[in-house]
A and B are shown apart, each in its own frame.
Chain A
């Protein structure tokens, strides 16, 4: 039996400046995790990753990967400490 799919969003850094960004609607890359598009199944994630690959190829972003998120409160929230710190766009100190 296939394991349940965890909701995920696709993140990266802007190539020119390094800022943390998330893939959102209309193929936009946005700074707020809460604005990111959430993949709720493997097909949706593949679609997001395909969009991200084009953004890599067109020198928009670098270092693309998917992260697990919690969507129980509506908008996505990072699960790992590392991704929560990244989403805050700065250190905790």
Chain B
């Protein structure tokens, strides 16, 4: 992984010292809250429902064991001994104190971490495929470019005060595991065709996003030579910075601009801007690319047999292990190795939460069996990207003893949920307890296995931090005359077939949501052609009608009911 150079260390340490001084001046009364608030937000410190919340950047979701141990230490010493992994592959500590924040940042700086640009109208942490560098379907490791973007976008003087926040995601694989279609800019590494045959570049997508106006990103550039990534991003950002709306926060994201102009006109303006840019002054020199790429050099792994008799025997005799192996352990690009997903979604627990002890357990596994690498996924889970097949059983046993061996990756209980009204001052409704009740309803592993791959996402408000628009089943918490209600959408997808879910009908009170989900699942399991047909495939084949009728009855259309409800 990337290691800070002298400049990086000096910069991050100077920001810690600067923030320590700012906090001191705030506590002494030399700064008002109006003056101080933008400064604390620039360092990831929010004031939430119960306390301050510190959002820690995990660049493109990559952590070393040392960094994970430090996160555990910080959570234990200055917070309440746990943290919440987010859909931006970051970590949030929900019980921070302003007076402790400078010390927390100083501790992070010791392990080359910080909270810079985890808030504000700037370019946020770039998210990436959590299997980057190890996936068998990968064209090129996107971490190198994610790091390039991190360095380019950090305190970029032009882009620190954009019309609104800006999110970039990148994948280098054939399968999109980074939800690039739901980002302001999505980057997919592609092989060139025709005149670009033999080259690797980027497919660039723009204007995706969730929130109150969800859009799937549109193609901006089918093949961008990779050496021009930064100048092209710069041109795109300049067009957005110039024309993005600053008069209305709800219309300020780039998706609104792209869809107002039309993607063809937006592209024309980007190309015009790009043509004016002196590219060598912005694009990364090949030597610098090579310097950064060395940090992400593939591990020197010797291929091994892809079968292991001990693993095979245990799979036959231990149903829990077999399930975990089937759902959480993925193929690795080097034979005899595996990608191990660590679920933070034990039914009944808070999705995405990990205790300090669990963080330390994962760090220990990364050190002992995982080549010191950990990834955070946007689905709020963790990954050990490289484990020898022969060690997989030992990893499972250790995870089991830490309460981390739930074998439910990509199943109905692998629920994305934002903090919701239990923590977040923006939320309209709670997300966590609804997620817990649904997960408990489907806690029987055989039931979840029978349902098969299914994304169920919950957001506590229209800002959609829980990615409800992209869920095969999405749940949105709304405030209905002072009570928490939940609107259900079906048909969303965050993957290559990206789509936005459609509202099924009137909302439900919290206590009725698990029943509603069970009804929806019943329509799916009775209507699927075979177990090989996923929930999303069945929904797309059947349409919404049978699901609506099962939930609301055939006598009235859901439109009528919505009108009556209003």
Q: Which A residues fall within an 8 A CB radius of B?
A: 13, 15-20, 56-59, 62-63, 79-82, 85-86, 89-93
Q: Is the CB of B51 within 8 A of A19?
A: yes
| CB-defined contacts of B429 to chain A, threshold 8 Å | 81
| Contact A18–B47 (Cβ < 8 Å) | yes
With beta carbons under 8 angstroms apart, the residue of B28, B96, B423, B427 that contacts A59 is: B28
Cα distance A92–B431 in the bound complex, in angstroms: 11
What is the minimal beta-carbon distance from B174 to any residue of chain A, in angstroms?
38
**A81 engages B52 (CB within 8 Å):** no
Q: Is B430 an interface residue when CB atoms closer than 8 A count as contact?
A: yes
B99 touches A17 (CB 8 A): yes
Tell whether B27 is near chain A: CB-to-CB under 8 Å. yes
Cβ–Cβ < 8 Å partners of A18 in chain B = 47, 50-52, 95-98
A15 touches B432 (CB 8 A): no
Interchain nearest-CB distance for B27 vs A (Å)? 6
Other A-B pairs, 15, CB within 8 Å; known A18-B52, A19-B51, A59-B28: A13-B51, A15-B27, A17-B51, A17-B52, A18-B50, A56-B33, A58-B29, A59-B26, A62-B33, A79-B482, A81-B483, A90-B50, A91-B50, A91-B432, A93-B430
Contact of B49 among A56, A57, A86 (CB under 8 A): A86
Q: Is B220 close to A, CB under 8 A?
A: no
A-B contact count (CB 8 A): 72
Chain A min CB distance to B86 (Å): 16
Ranked 5 nearest A-B pairs via Cβ: A91-B422, A18-B51, A18-B52, A17-B97, A16-B99
Q: What residues of chain B have their CB less than 8 Å away from a CB belonging to chain A?
A: 26-29, 33, 47, 49-52, 95-99, 350, 421-423, 425, 427, 429-430, 432-433, 436, 479, 482-484
Structural contact, B97 and A85, CB atoms closer than 8 A: no
Residue of B nearest to A63 (CB): B47
Residues of A within 8 A of B427 (CB): 82
* CB atoms of A93 and B482 under 8 A apart: no
**Chain B positions within 8 Å of A80 at CB level:** 482
For A17, A56, A63, which residue has the most chain B Cβ atoms within 10 angstroms? A17
Which of B96, B98, B422 is within 8 Å of A15, CB to CB?
B98
**Is the Cβ of B421 less than 8 Å from the Cβ of A82?**
yes
Bound: A63/B425 CA distance, A:
12
15 contacts between A and B (CB under 8 A): A13-B47, A16-B97, A17-B99, A18-B47, A18-B97, A19-B51, A20-B49, A59-B26, A59-B27, A80-B482, A81-B430, A85-B49, A85-B421, A86-B49, A93-B422
Q: How far is the CA of A59 from the CA of B482 in the complex (A)?
A: 33
Q: For residue B344, give the distance in angstroms from its CB to the closest CB of chain A.
A: 14
Distance, CA A15 to CA B427, complexed state (A): 22
Q: How far is the CA of A89 from the CA of B52 in the complex (A)?
A: 13
| Residue among A15, A20, A57, A80 facing the most chain B CB atoms (10 A cut-off) | A15
Min C-beta distance of B353 to chain A, whole Å: 10
Nearest opposing residue in chain A for B425, CB measure = A82
Residues of A within 8 A of B422 (CB): 85, 91-93
Of chain A, the residue at the smallest CB distance from B30 is A59
- Cβ contacts under 8 Å, A59 to chain B: 26-29
Report the separation of the CA atoms of residues A16 and B97 in the bound assembly, to the nearest whole angstrom: 6
- Chain A interface main SS type: loop
Minimum CB–CB distance for B539 against chain A, Å: 30
**In the bound complex, CA of A56 to CA of B422 (Å):** 26
User: Nearest chain B CB to A18's CB is how many angstroms away?
Assistant: 4
Which residues does chain A contribute within 8 Å of B99, judged by CB atoms? 16-17
Q: How far is the CB of A53 from chain B (nearest CB, A)?
A: 12
Chain A residue with Cβ nearest B51:
A18
Contact between A62 and B47, CB atoms less than 8 A apart: yes
The distance from the CB of B486 to the nearest CB of chain A, in whole angstroms, is 13
Q: Which of A81, A89, A90 contacts B482 (CB 8 A)?
A: A81
Q: How far is the CA of A86 from the CA of B483 in the complex (A)?
A: 16
A90 neighbours in B (Cβ, 8 Å): 50
Least CB distance, A55 to chain B, in whole angstroms? 12
B95 proximity list for chain A (CB < 8 A): 18
A contact residues around B52 at 8 Å (CB): 17-18
B51 → chain A closest CB, angstroms: 4
CA distance A15 to B482 in the complex (A): 29
With a CB–CB cut-off of 8 A, which chain A residues contact B33?
Answer: 56, 62-63
Chain B residues lying within 8 Å of A86, measured Cβ to Cβ, are 49-50
Which residue of A is nearest B98, CB measured? A16
CB of B47 within 8 A of CB of A81, answer no
Contact call A91/B423, Cβ cutoff below 8 A: yes
Smallest CB-CB separation from B33: which chain A residue?
Answer: A62
Do B51 and A92 have beta carbons less than 8 Å apart?
A: no
A80 vs B27: C-alpha distance when bound (angstroms): 31
- Minimal beta-carbon separation of B382 from chain A (angstroms): 21
A90 to B482, CA, bound (A): 20
CB distance from A83 to the nearest CB of B (A): 10
Chain A residues with CB below 8 A from B350, complex form: 93
Instruction: Choose one: A16, A85, A91; the contact of B27 (CB below 8 Å).
Output: A16
Contacts of A17 in B (CB 8 A): 51-52, 97-99
Expressed in whole angstroms, the Cα–Cα distance for A92 and B429 within the complex equals 12
Look across to chain A and name the residue whose beta carbon is closest to the beta carbon of B479. A81
Complex CA distance for A19 and B95, rounded to whole angstroms: 9
Q: Which residues of B contact A16 (CB under 8 A)?
A: 27, 97-99
In the complex, what residue of chain B is closest to A64 when comparing beta carbons?
A: B33
Chain A residue contacts of B425, Cβ below 8 A: 82
Cα–Cα distance between A57 and B33 once the two chains are bound (Å): 9
Which residues on B sit within 8 Å (CB–CB) of A82? 49, 421, 425, 427
* Cα distance A56–B33 in the bound complex, in angstroms: 9
Minimal Cβ-Cβ distance residue in A for B431 = A93
Q: Which residue of A lies closest to B419 (CB)?
A: A91
Of all chain B residues, which has the CB nearest A20? B50
In the complex, which residue of chain A has the Cβ closest to the Cβ of B432?
A93
Residues of B within 8 A of A62 (CB): 33, 47
